[in-house]
Amino acid sequence: MATDQSNYSGYSDEYERRTPRQAAQRSGYASGAAAQRGQQRPVNGAAQRGGSAAYRSTGERTARGDYAAGTRTGGAGRGTSTGTRSAQGRDGAGQPPRSRAAYGGGNGSGNGMPPRGTSGQHRKRRKKRRTLQPRFIVLIVLLLAVVGIGVFLMRNAGAPGGEKEPGGITSIFATPTPSPSPTPEPTPVPTPTPKFDTPHAVDGTNPANWGYTSQVEVNGAQAESYQRETPISFGTGAEYTDVEGIVTFRGNNYREGAAYGTANVSAKTLSIAWQIDTGEIMRGSSSGYKNTWTGSLWVGQPLIVKWPESTKRVMNMYDSAKSNPELVEVIYATASGRVYFLNLEDGTPTRDPLDLNMPFKGAGALDPRGYPILYLGSGDMYDDYPEMQTRAMAISLIDFSILYEFGRAYDSFAIREWHAYDSSPIVNAATDTLIYPGENGIIYTIKLGTQYDEAAGTLTMQPSEVVKYRYNSSRSTTKSTYSYEKGEYKYWLGFESSVVTWGEYMYLTSNDGYVHCINLNTMEIVWIQDIWDDANGTLVLEEDEANRTAYLYAGPSLHFTQDANATGITPLFKINAVTGEIVWQHDMKVHTKSGASGGIQATAALGKGNISNLVIIPYARVYREDDPESADHGYTVAIDKNSNQEVWRQMTRFCWSSPLAIYDAAGNAYIVQADSSGHVHLFDGATGTKLFDLNTESKNFEASPAAYGNMIVIGNKDKKIFGIRIS
- Residue predicted with more confidence, 678 or 129: 678
- Whether residue 182 is predicted with pLDDT greater than 80 in this model: the reply is no
Query: 240-287 pLDDT, tens per residue?
Result: 999 999 999 999 999 999 999 999 999 999 999 999 999 999 988 665
Query: 476-491 pLDDT, tens per residue?
Result: 887 666 665 666 667 8
3-class secondary-structure state, position 161: helix
Determine contact, residues 91/22, Cβ cutoff 8 Å. no
Confidence of residue 45 (pLDDT cuts 50, 70, 90): very low
Q: Average pLDDT, stretch 83-87?
A: 35
- Whether residue 595 is predicted with pLDDT greater than 90 in this model: the reply is no
Q: String of b and e for 321-357 (b: at least 16 CB within 10 Å)?
A: bbebeebbbbbbbbbbbbbbbbbbbebeebbebbebe
Pairing of strands 213-218, 465-472: antiparallel
What pLDDT score does 134 carry?
55
Pairing of strands 500-502, 505-509: antiparallel
Confidence of residue 181 (pLDDT cuts 50, 70, 90): low
- Residue predicted with more confidence, 63 or 432: 432
What pLDDT score does 350 carry?
98
Q: Average pLDDT, stretch 699-712?
A: 97
Q: Average pLDDT, stretch 341-367?
A: 97
3-class secondary-structure state, position 583: strand
Q: How far out from the chain centre does Cα 581 lie?
A: 27
Sign of the C-alpha dihedral computed for residues 259, 265, 271 and 273 taken in this order = negative
Give the integer Cα–Cα distance in Å for 349 and 346. 9
How high does pLDDT run on average in the chain? 81
What pLDDT score does 187 carry?
79
DSSP state of 599: B
Query: 189-232 pLDDT, tens per residue?
Result: 777 788 999 999 999 999 999 999 999 999 999 999 999 999 99
Query: 425-478 pLDDT, tens per residue?
Result: 999 999 999 999 999 999 999 999 999 999 999 999 999 999 999 999 999 887
What pLDDT score does 286 carry?
62
Strand order in the sheet with 221-223: 221-223, 213-218, 465-472, 442-447, 433-437, 426-428
Query: 298-344 pLDDT, tens per residue?
Result: 899 999 999 999 999 999 999 999 999 999 999 999 999 999 999 99
What pLDDT score does 391 carry?
95
Query: 533-581 pLDDT, tens per residue?
Result: 999 899 999 999 999 999 999 999 998 999 989 999 999 999 999 999 9
pTM: 0.75
Q: Average pLDDT, stretch 83-96?
A: 37
Determine contact, residues 604/553, Cβ cutoff 8 Å. yes
Query: 686-704 pLDDT, tens per residue?
Result: 999 999 999 999 989 999 9
The single-letter code of the amino acid at 625 is E
Query: 654-676 pLDDT, tens per residue?
Result: 999 999 999 999 999 999 999 99
Q: Both ends of the chain: CA-CA distance in Å?
A: 70
pLDDT > 70 in the chain, percent: 73
The single-letter code of the amino acid at 131 is T
Q: Average pLDDT, stretch 24-33?
A: 38
Query: 132-166 pLDDT, tens per residue?
Result: 455 556 566 566 655 555 544 444 444 433 333 33
Q: Which of 69-78, 615-624, 674-683, 700-709 has the lowest mean pLDDT?
A: 69-78
What pLDDT score does 664 carry?
97
Give the integer Cα–Cα distance in Å for 206 and 210. 8
What pLDDT score does 178 carry?
52
Question: Number of helices and strands (H, E) in the chain?
Answer: 10, 40
Judged on CB neighbours under 10 Å (0-12, 13-18, 19+), 161 is: exposed
